[in-house]
Structure 1
C-alpha cells in the first residue's frame, strides 16, 4: 500500500480553481462510461478537448479501481457491518471531481474506503488483464497520489494531476 501523498496537489480551495465540476457515480461498472462522458463534456467546456484521451484513460482507471476495490459487496461483511451502524450515516458512493487551475488540471475520485491504493507491478505476467491501472495513471498523468478524508466525509480521494501548457488561459 502506498503512503498518503498530498505533494503536488493544488490547494483544494474551490475558490482558487478556474473551474470545477463534480458528479456522483453509481456503484456499477457502467459508471465508467458515464465518467468518461462527463469528462469529455467538462473538458470541452473548458476548451481542453485536446487533453481528453489522456485524462479519460486516467479517469477510467481511477473510477474502475474505486468500483472494484473500495465499495463493499452487496452481500459482504463490510456492507452488513455498515448497515448495522446506519448506512445513511456514511456516503458509500463514488464521486468524480475535475478541477482546473490556470496551469493544472486535477481529476480526483472519492470513495468510501480508507484503504490506500496499491500499485501492482506484475512482470511475471505482462498479459494480465488487470492490475496495471495505477501504472497507467502514473504513466499518463504528471503526478498522482491519494489522501484520507476526515470529518464528516469518510474514505479517501485518489487524484491525478496534469500540467497544462502555459499559454492556456482561464
Structure 2
C-alpha cells in the first residue's frame, strides 16, 4: 500500500511507521462524521491537533468520494452486505498519510477546478490544495479495490526539544 507514496520524497520504510490507526466505515453518509471524529481523536493522541483542520477536510473529501463513487448502487440499501470503506492514518517523523481504501477499481477523477458553480466535483481539487501530495493505486493480492491517499509533511522536531511521551 505504501509503494506509490515516494513522489519526490525520501523513500518510506514501512517498518519506520511511528504510529498507525485505522477504522472501518459503514456504507452510509454518516460515516463521514465518524471519520472526522476518528481523525480528531487520533491526531490528538499523536499530539498533531494543530493539523486537524486541513487533515479533517481531506479525510472528509476522501471518505465522501469513496461512499459516493466507489460503492455499488446497492450499498445504501444493504450496507451490511457491502465491503466497508476503511480509513488509515499513518504517521512517520515528518509525514502523515491519510489513506481511504474502497472496493472499486475505478480511478478517482478530478473535475475542472475552474467550475466552482458546480454542485459537486471539487473534492479532489480540495485534497490537492490542502495536502502536500495525493494519489491512488489499485490493491493487489488478496485485497480488492484501490487506495486513495493524501500526504501531509510535518514539521521536524526542534533540536533540544523532547516530545512528550505517548500515553
Q: State the TM-score bracket (shorter-chain normalisation).
A: 0.7 to 0.9
The structure 2 residue matched to 1:157, chosen from 147, 151, 159, is 147
Superposed CA deviations along residues 14-40 of structure 1, whole A, max 9, x for unmatched, are x32010000000000000000000000
Aligned to 2:107: 116
- Gaps of at least 5 residues in structure 1 are 77-87
- Gaps of at least 5 residues in structure 2 are none
Aligned to 1:39: 39
Measure how far apart 1:57 and its partner are: 0.1
Question: For residues 54 and 141 of structure 2, what CA distance do their matches in structure 1 show?
Answer: 33
| Cα pair distance change 1:164/1:26, threshold 3 Å | same
RMSD: 2.5
Superposed CA deviations along residues 89-127 of structure 1, whole A, max 9, x for unmatched, are xx721000000000000000000000010100153x422
Question: For residues 56 and 87 of structure 2, what CA distance do their matches in structure 1 show?
Answer: 12
CA contact (8 A) 2:90 2:98 kept: yes
Aligned to 2:56: 56
Aligned to 1:106: 97
The TM-score normalised by the length of structure 2 is 0.83
The TM-score normalised by the length of structure 1 is 0.82
| Cα pair distance change 1:157/1:75, threshold 3 Å | closer
Question: For residues 32 and 75 of structure 1, what CA distance do their matches in structure 2 show?
Answer: 15
Q: Which runs of 4+ in 1 moved over 3 A?
A: 9-12
